[in-house]
Chains A and B, each alone.
Chain A
Amino acid sequence: MLPASAASLAVLAVLLAWPVPALLARAGWTRRDPLVALVCWQAIGLAGGLSMIAALLVHGLAPWGHSLPEAAWALVTGHLAGDPVRGDHWVALILAVVLATELLGVLVLSGVRTARTRRRHRALLELVVQPSAELPDTRLLEHPAPVAFCIPGARPLLVLSSGMVAELDEAQLAAVVAHERAHLSEHHHLLLLPFVAWEAALPVLPAAARAHVAVRDLVEMRADDVALRSLADGTGGTAPRRTLAQAIVAAAEGTGGVAVPGGALAVAGSAVRARVVRLLEPPSPLPAAARWTALAAAGLLLALPTALLVLPAV
């Protein structure tokens, strides 16, 4: 008999692998509060992986005991299983170990590979970028295309191209720098890491790719929000929203003309438009009740598989 916990975990895993990410990716409220949406995505990712592994584990360990701690202890201490152990129990256990190893392994590998790429980028950049005289902690790169980016890490690098400096006025540049700084200060690269890794680990799962795109777009919106807040603090009267929108449009436009090796980035079109629309016609913020409901749902998503895993099976 398949314990009901294993069955519920399997159902949860299926829900989190397909319908739930699909719904959240389509949801309109996420752009009203990117931070809460990002929390929800992290919960979905974590709970999805957890329930997949837990479903297999609970089923596989069922002959050894009625709860996971009890069964695991029995297995480790070499107690005999109470119920007969069939082939499907072993298969489930092996799959659980393989899946856990793959998900964690890919996460680590992805992190290591990215860190190496960043080191290489930083080395390439450090030879040619000059510290900016006007903007603190910002380096200038001699290049006609208007680009701005930052390389996260222990020693982050915030780079503006000379094309960007030429294209934008002072307030717009400040907005760009504030946006990049928001990425760095909130460690957005860490929020993205699991989704990059799991897209690589589970290429058959369309939701993994969808989740990655959604999180990437939300991270940009969040950085816009944080930038606006810091700009409003500093300059007060001017309209930071329009300034940031102008900077985005100028950067997006300029890149189309000058030969920046754009390639894969060209698909970013609709996401850029969404950002600009959001800045020009700000959606009303999420009501507090909705905010807390979403956060509670995210918490519940994590608590449910954990409880099913640890509590005695029914």
Chain B
Amino acid sequence: MATLGELERALMERLWSAPEPVAATTLRDELAERDVALTTVHTVLTRLQHKGFVVHDEGRPRRFRPRASREDHAAELMHEVLGQSADRQAVLARFVGSVNPDEARLLRELLAAADDAAPR
């Protein structure tokens, strides 16, 4: 049983790799191995639209495409989650912030000095 999150990811993969907008029935057929009902495909597409990741045209049947390419999505993600505009509080738990090259060299030296002091 696939979770909605997994289905969202699978659908986005299809939409990203498709050369042109895709209808929901096509997506259902492509996901046949997951045994997904058409209503489920529509549910997932609606969720993705609400989140602003998918748009559809006004044709009949409606055809869906990603709002941004995979590359743009990744760039947007890095910018929003870790970038300068990022809400510091939301990503407080980043492991290490970036440091400038001088600082990085200094850190390297600290580590090397400790290794010399206590060789293993």
Shortest CB distance A38–B (Å): 14
A255/B87 contact (C-beta < 8 A), A143-B78, A184-B93, A242-B114 known: no
B99-A266 in contact (CB<8A): yes
Asked, given contacts A124-B77, A245-B114, whether A261 binds B82 with beta carbons under 8 Å apart, the answer is: yes
Task: For A118, list chain B residues within 8 Å (CB).
Answer: 90
Please name the residue on chain B nearest to A245 by beta carbon. B111
| Tier of interface size on chain A | 35 or more
Residue of B nearest to A223 (CB): B93
Residue of A nearest to B114 (CB): A280
Q: Given the complex, which residues of A lie within 8 Å of B115, measured CB to CB?
A: 242
A114→B87 contact, CB < 8 A: yes
Q: A176 vs B88: C-alpha distance in the bound complex, in angstroms?
A: 20
CB-CB under 8 A from B29, the residues of chain A are none
A272's contact among B78, B82, B90, B99, by CB below 8 Å, is which?
B99
Within 8 A of B (CB), among A124-153: 124-128, 142-143, 145, 147-152
Q: How far apart are B90's CB and chain A's nearest CB, in angstroms?
A: 4
Judging by beta carbons under 8 Å apart, are B90 and A252 in contact?
Answer: no
- Given contacts A114-B89, A121-B91, A128-B77, whether A260 and B114 have CB atoms under 8 Å apart is no
Q: Could you give, for residues 93-126 of chain A, a 1 whenever the CB lies within 8 Å of some chain B CB and a 0 otherwise?
A: 0000000000000000010011001101101111
Contact across chains for A127 and B53 when beta carbons are under 8 A apart: yes
Distance A259 CA – B106 CA, assembled complex (angstroms):
20
**Using Cβ atoms and an 8 Å threshold, which residues of chain A touch B83?**
261, 263
- Tell whether, in the assembled complex, residue A151 and residue B90 are in contact, meaning their CB atoms are under 8 Å apart: yes
A45 to B22, CA, bound (A): 55
CA distance A249 to B107 in the complex (A): 6
- Which residues of A are found within 8 Å of B80, using beta-carbon distances? 120-121, 124
- Chain B contact patch, size range: 35 or more
Decide if A8 is an interface residue (CB 8 Å cutoff). Answer: no
Interface string of A243-256 (1 = CB under 8 A from B): 00111110111011
> A150 to B97, alpha carbons, bound, how many Å?
13
Residue of A nearest to B110 (CB): A276
Contact among B8, B79, B99 with A255 in the assembled complex (CB-CB below 8 Å): B99
Q: Mark A232-243, 1 if CB is under 8 A from B, else 0.
A: 000000010010
A150-B93 contact, Cβ under 8 Å, with A143-B78, A266-B99: yes
Q: Which chain B residues border A33 with CB–CB below 8 Å? A: none
Q: Find the A residue at minimum CB distance from B12.
A: A127
Q: Pick the contact of B111 from A219, A260, A280 — CB < 8 Å?
A: A280
In the bound assembly, the distance between CA atoms of A87 and B70 in angstroms comes to 64
Chain B residue numbers with a CB within 8 Å of A246 are: 111
B62 within 8 A of A: no
Q: How far is the CA of A264 from the CA of B89 in the complex (A)?
A: 13
- Top 6 A-B pairs, shortest CB-CB distance: A263-B84, A268-B97, A265-B97, A261-B83, A255-B98, A262-B98
Interface of B toward A, CB cutoff 8 Å: 5, 8-9, 12, 51, 53, 70, 73-74, 76-84, 87-101, 103-104, 106-108, 110-111, 114-115, 120
7 extra interface residue pairs, beta carbon distance < 8 Å, beyond A147-B94, A252-B104, A261-B82:
A117-B87, A127-B8, A127-B9, A151-B93, A262-B97, A272-B96, A280-B110
Binding site for B on A (CB under 8 A): 110, 113-114, 117-118, 120-121, 123-128, 142-143, 145, 147-152, 176, 179-180, 183-184, 188-189, 192-193, 196, 216, 219, 239, 242, 245-249, 251-253, 255-256, 260-273, 276-277, 280-281
Q: List 30 A-B contacts (CB under 8 A).
A: A121-B90, A124-B81, A126-B8, A127-B53, A127-B73, A128-B70, A147-B82, A149-B81, A151-B90, A152-B92, A176-B95, A188-B92, A193-B89, A249-B108, A249-B110, A253-B99, A253-B104, A253-B108, A255-B96, A256-B100, A256-B101, A260-B78, A261-B79, A261-B84, A266-B98, A269-B97, A272-B97, A276-B111, A280-B111, A280-B114
